[in-house]
Chains A and B, each alone.
Chain A
């Protein structure tokens, strides 16, 4: 059924209403704007934008690529837009930071076809190592930033962003957050275009080459373009205002949707004026008019106090000494995402309404006393990474420092696999191993997956080779970018191979093995452990979930535990951390639904109590 919905993204049904996921609304908006090029590196919560376009690209006449990393994605998209194409580029907030180098000069050079960078934010760091506020790119690197509150906003902002980008020659950022990307809502569909931009590149080096002389000229032109952008935003529909009450509330992003909800729930429409901020930089006219029409202001925004600062400036500019409540005033937390509850409490306090009843609070604290067990993410049953970690632990022991990286294998963190002692960002396993090995004088292990290795591990590995660092880089190759939803990786069959790339960088000791082939895996690791300088062990084994998903691999036979042989030594649970093994009232069992039949536990069991289903009864 999901296919049917994606197909409908290509149907020309103007004025029709549909219920779309935020990320799909972005896709529809881009298609309505006549998208011609798209590139991305996957990252939650942005991934569905690229995955959907990957499937639709051919029918929609869009040139598509999953890029090797975000810097590359941005650069290729920028070059595409210089040929006149309307181009879009997708990533999560961390990817935008990775691409800061090209990003910082693109507004100077300017675009030809419209260029929209979709960079999804993750307040509360739900699937990221940090939270960050891409709205700050508006004054940091001179990007207009669109900030949807709902899927409907996402669609119309994306559609408008292309034309806006062409009118101002500025690349623009669309910044949805997790709650917009992964929420569905009603959207209004517009017509699909009958014509797209013409493609062609006209040589004009002074226009496209930011050597210092040109760059200084471009900097002045940029100021003029930004002024034009501010005028267009001032005249746009992205700053709607509701109500005429003397209590001002100004909100942006999904927090605006919460504010609308709370005002409706409390029935206080007559007492407030609600101003939405849908884009940045906020036009001065919008702010000045707002601060002059209310007696006090509550600012509702996630992450950094950007609107709050601008509102305070506007109040100063307009000589309005009115109270402004927000993060800086201590009325909202500086960290993490907001919720309707948080906003309701702040609004009640602001309007001096009675706080919510104690009964409500007692209900809310109910589960604390219940001690509900958590369900943290864990490596899947049958995951080859678990096997790889176990093999490495046997050879390198618990005193070696293990440097982790970004991917499913980050789940090797903590008990019982202990496969991640330090972590920073994409590609940092190798560089962190270098720094630690060079200073401690002890061989250090880096774990990195195939997609991450090609994303940013290549220059890191070359750096280590040049420094002759005593590190062992274990490349966990499962042929897919698994954690973000099974996008192809450079090692997806018939594409780039890891070993020639590694050798080409000057690594002499390169070993390859299937981690499930215990003898080969341990042999490779032992040689690496005794080696000098940089060496690389490549473990090749396909992601089991992807195998099952694509129905390529027949599922292996599940295992079961012979209760007469099992002496409850607990070794299987203590060493492997496999969610397929359960312990209830001291009895060990394997969930046949979960078990993938990798046999790692069977090989570990010293009493041979773990056997394939059907053979477990034979002692």
Chain B
């Protein structure tokens, strides 16, 4: 794998950051199943506090990268950010080598409403542009997109995780093509969901393809 023109140490360390109910755990599970089936060494970890909708959820997928389920500081190869604040929360795991796909649609934390009525400080959701900027300052290969809008355009906001998976597979950094990956999943999916998620997945693939052809880091080709 070649990210930002630098050699990858060994394997792939992918972090999925989002909130409960966004489908991040499903992304992790699908990646695990796909790569375990293909004979890779896969490890995955999830961390969520009390299992509640709306809480922060981080999951890791490590492919051929050892036995520890926890990604160390600065060692994520790819971050899929399903929510802007949660993507920024993952900054410590990023470095200049990290490829980031970042959804720009916020899920408002409930504490903000409380802070607003009690007239406490920090009652505003941080400006999304600022969050993207902060992430990009650490990981120059950060691509932001309104993935929630793409999912809705495909038929359901629930297909957000399919859009983000599309970005990951479309980036061409994993040792599997997007068609190989998706065909295995689509056959297992109930017909009612298949069309929406397939469209969502391909809109993610298309986004990653388009953006990856643009010159980055002072014109170094990807």
Residues of B within 8 A of A127 (CB): 49-50
- In the assembled complex, the Cα of A341 lies from the Cα of B117 at a distance in Å of 39
User: Is A330's beta carbon under 8 Å from chain B?
Assistant: no
Task: Point out the residues of chain A lying under 8 angstroms from B197, CB to CB.
Answer: none
Q: How large is the interface on B (under 10, 10 to 19, 20 to 34, 35 or more residues)?
A: 35 or more
A567 interfacial contact with B, CB 8 Å: no
B6: chain A residues within 8 A (beta carbon): none
**Is A551 interfacial (CB-CB < 8 Å)?**
no
Is B109 part of the contact surface with A, judged by Cβ < 8 Å? yes
Which B residues from 103 to 130 make CB contacts under 8 A with A?
108-114, 116-118, 122-123, 125-126, 130
Q: How distant is B115 from chain A, measured CB to nearest CB, in Å?
A: 8
| Nearest residue, chain B, Cβ from A178 | B47
A572-595 at interface with B (beta carbon < 8 Å): 573-574, 577, 579, 581-584, 586, 593-594
Within 8 A of A (CB), among B16-56: 19, 28-29, 32-33, 36, 41-47, 49-56
- A97 at the binding interface (Cβ < 8 Å): no
- Is B212 an interface residue, CB under 8 A from the partner? no
| Chain A, Cβ-Cβ closest to B61 | A184
Query: Closest CB of chain B to A263's CB: distance in Å?
Result: 10
Residue among A179, A182, A373, A584 with the highest chain B CB neighbour number at 10 A:
A373
A17 touches B36 (CB 8 A): yes
Complex alpha-carbon distance, A135 and B66, angstroms: 26
A258 touches B70 (CB 8 A): yes
Interface string of A590-616 (1 = CB under 8 A from B): 000110000000000000000000000
Q: Is A374 an interface residue (CB 8 A)?
A: yes
The verdict on A363 contacting chain B, using a C-beta distance below 8 Å, is: yes
Q: Does B68 lie within 8 Å of A261, measured CB to CB?
A: yes
Closest to A149 in B: B67
Say which residue of A186, A264, A340, A579 sits within 8 Å of B36 (CB atoms). A186
Decide: A340 near B43, CB < 8 A? Known: A260-B67, A370-B126, A570-B117: no
Q: From A184, A339, A584, give the contact of B42 (CB < 8 A).
A: A184
Which A residues between 18 and 58 are near B, CB-CB below 8 angstroms? 18-19, 44
Q: Does B154 contact A (CB under 8 A)?
A: no
Give Cα A416 to B114, complex, Å.
9
* A186 and B110 contact, CB distance less than 8 A: no
Residue B188 at the A interface, CB < 8 A?
yes
Q: Is A206 an interface residue (CB 8 A)?
A: no
- Whether B5 sits at the interface, judged by CB under 8 Å, is no
Is there contact, CB below 8 Å, between A185 and B50? no
A375 touches B55 (CB 8 A): yes
Q: A439 within 8 Å of B by Cβ?
A: no
Stretch of A159-167, A376-384, A458-466 that contacts chain B: A376-384
Q: Report the Cα distance A127→B109, complex, angstroms.
A: 20
Q: Which among A261, A411, A415 is the interface contact of B114 at CB below 8 angstroms?
A: A415
Q: Are B88 and A367 in contact (CB under 8 A)?
A: yes
Flag whether B74 is at the interface (Cβ < 8 A). yes
**Are A372 and B85 in contact, with the CB atoms below 8 A?**
yes
A205 at the B interface (CB under 8 A): no
Contact between chains at A363 and B47 (CB < 8 Å): no
Q: B100 at interface (Cβ–Cβ under 8 A)?
A: no
**In the complex, what residue of chain B is closest to A379 when comparing beta carbons?**
B52
Contact with A along B161-177 (1 / 0, CB 8 A): 00000000000000000
Could you say which of B91-99, B200-208, B213-221 contacts chain A?
B91-99
- B122 in contact with A366 (CB, 8 Å): no
Contacts A44-B50, A485-B51, A583-B113; is A370 near B72 (CB within 8 Å)? no
Measured between beta carbons, the chain B residues less than 8 angstroms from A399 are none
How far is B56's CA from A374's CA once the two chains are assembled, in angstroms?
A: 8
For the complex, is A541 an interface residue (Cβ under 8 Å from B)? no
Give which listed residue, B67, B70, B75, B91, contacts A367 with CB less than 8 A.
Answer: B91
- Proximity bits, A260-271, B CB within 8 Å = 1, else 0: 111011000000
Are B113 and A184 in contact, with the CB atoms below 8 A? no
9 nearest A-B residue pairs (beta carbon): A19-B36, A183-B69, A261-B68, A570-B117, A579-B110, A340-B72, A184-B44, A583-B116, A364-B92
